[in-house]
Amino acid sequence: MQADVAIIGCGPTGALLGNLLGARGLSVAIFEKQPAIYDLPRAVHFDGETMRVFQSAGLAEAVLPETRVNPGMLFKDPAGRTLIDWSRDMSIGPMGWPESYRFHQPGLERVLRAGLARYPNVRLHESTAVTAHRQDDTGVTLTTDKGTYGAAHVVACDGTGSPTREALGIGLHDLGFHERWLVVDLRLTRDRPDLGDHSIQFCDPERPATYVRCVGPRRRWEMRIDSGDPDHFAPDEIWRRLSRWITPADADLERAAVYTFRSRLAARWREGRVFLAGDAAHQTPPFMGQGMCAGIRDAANLAWKLAAVHHGVDPAILDTYESERAPNARAFIQLAADMGQLINQTVQGHLPQGRMRSIWPDLGPGLGPRDGIGGALAPQVGRADDAAPTGFHLLTRAPFDADLPAAQGAEDWLAERDLFGVILRPDGYALDHAATPEGLHEALARHADLLDAVPPRRL
Ligand SMILES: Cc1cc2nc3c(=O)[nH]c(=O)nc-3n(C[C@H](O)[C@H](O)[C@H](O)COP(=O)(O)OP(=O)(O)OC[C@H]3O[C@@H](n4cnc5c(N)ncnc54)[C@H](O)[C@@H]3O)c2cc1C
């Protein structure tokens, strides 16, 4: 069997990529070795940009019931004093969605997998492990425990331990953070409003910990453990460690796991026709809730480029996947690792005080100019992204006659940058821009081949 794209691994990265490629009409085969969705505690936060990507896959409405808008995070010292306030705006922000959401990862993954069923051109092979791959100039052959499959391109979304990355001999750059943490999910059996709606980072060199107010009755605690601690904790020991916050009188223990939090980037994200995406390409300590978001951004970046290549665009465009994505992912990993160090600071170590703001790093070098505007995440006006069949559209200061839909309403953003208009890519980043209507026509002409080649989405 021959697919346009084969995806190895159906975690959030692979499942979203399958949706985005399916929507553009490509034939997609997804291979997932497990029979069911992973059910140990992992992601509980995603940002407004991620919600915008779910919107681009036609899944925002289905994702929303799985979420809760997040008021932000406080960093506290052992005496309970707030050291840093990272409160988030809970109203609609520049992405067209609130800045920050809480969610339950298995629930989100169920929505993403259900989305795949919209596309007869997408097939999910569950309980099917990819054991080897071989590529030549024409395509890639995957060997699985159920048979062999061919594809023009392969995206390995096979997680932290990525067997594909290993098989390709691609190493990892280590940004230096690795710590073992115990992660516990509880379900409240009675109200505990005193725990609060903000997440809390307990900055304590002896016992650094994180509290997260999740969706519905779920609450999360993460606690750093020692190198000598075991990989599994008995319930009694978990309750002992939680006792300063909560007891069995208030909640049931739902699930617990021990993880080593890491900060690493794959040395290369592409080998010929095979790409790495998600945790296979990068691993982020979870303090900013950005690891999965990075994989979602990978899928959003790669999907329309793969679709363009399958409609005749020069495959060289695929080199911009790593060049654009890696610096953006690195910026989040570095900040998350810095936050991890902060949480471990000594009280006497004079933790910085003040407010923290979210970051929106630009893409690295790639398509279009890099001048502080090209490659920057551009705002969404209303649901303007939806009005664009291919995802490419314009934000302009005045009505503008072009083949792409043009939305108005981002006057401040455009005026601050002395722009008449900007061309947005399907992933929400600025492709190009101009100070005048004539300049915008010229910019559109420069990118005409790409704009014409990317097929429309069927949502
Ligand atoms: C405690 C914790 C908290 C976190 N909190 C957050 C958070 O708040 N926000 C956030 O954005 N991120 C968070 N993360 C990170 C997030 O969970 C991961 O980044 C995300 O799950 C990665 O998705 P993925 O699809 O790339 O990989 P995975 O979810 O790991 O999926 C990989 C899939 O590939 C499959 N696979 C592997 N090998 C093969 C093979 N040979 N053949 C077939 N299938 C294969 C696996 O079975 C698996 O299903 C957290 C992580 C942890 C551990």
**Alpha-carbon separation of residue 349 from 11, 248, 329, 345 (angstroms):** 40, 35, 29, 6
State in Å: Cα 17 to ligand 1 middle: 14
Average pLDDT of the chain is 96
**Of 83-87, 160-164, 326-330, 430-434, which gets the smallest average pLDDT?**
83-87
Q: Which atom, in ligand 1's list, is nearest to the CA of 212?
A: 8
The pLDDT value recorded for residue 340 is 87
The pLDDT value recorded for residue 435 is 98
pLDDT digits (tens, 9 = 90+) for 424-458: 999 999 999 999 999 999 999 999 999 999 999 99
The pLDDT value recorded for residue 346 is 46
State in Å: Cα 202 to ligand 1 middle: 25
CATH number at 295 reads 3.50.50.60
pLDDT surpassing 80 at residue 347: no
* Claim to verify: residue 320 and residue 421 sit in the same structural domain: no
* Claim to verify: residue 317 and residue 393 sit in the same structural domain: no
Task: Summarize the confidence of residues 208-231 as an average pLDDT.
Answer: 96
> pLDDT confidence of 310, banded at 50, 70, 90?
very high
* Claim to verify: residue 415 and residue 319 sit in the same structural domain: no
Structural domain including 339 reads 2-68+93-173+263-343
* Claim to verify: residue 140 and residue 282 sit in the same structural domain: yes
* Claim to verify: residue 161 and residue 292 sit in the same structural domain: yes
* Gap between the Cα atoms of 305 and 327, Å rounded: 18
* Claim to verify: residue 393 and residue 318 sit in the same structural domain: no
The pLDDT value recorded for residue 348 is 45
The residue out of 294, 325, 343 marking a domain boundary is 343
DSSP 430: E
The residue out of 279, 312, 343 marking a domain boundary is 343
Q: Is residue 374 part of a domain?
A: no
Counting the structural domains of the chain, the total is 2
CB 305 within 8 A of CB 320: yes
> pLDDT confidence of 353, banded at 50, 70, 90?
low
CA angle 36, 41, 47 (to 5 degrees): 100
Percent of the chain with pLDDT over 90: 92
Q: Is residue 127 part of a domain?
A: yes
- Give SS3 for 257: strand
Q: Which atom, in ligand 1's list, is nearest to the CA of 50?
A: 11
Residue of 246 and 344 predicted with greater confidence: 246
Q: Which residues does ligand 1 sit against, CB inside 6 Å? A: 8-14, 31-34, 38, 41-46, 105, 129-130, 157-159, 163, 183, 259, 278-279, 286, 289-293, 295
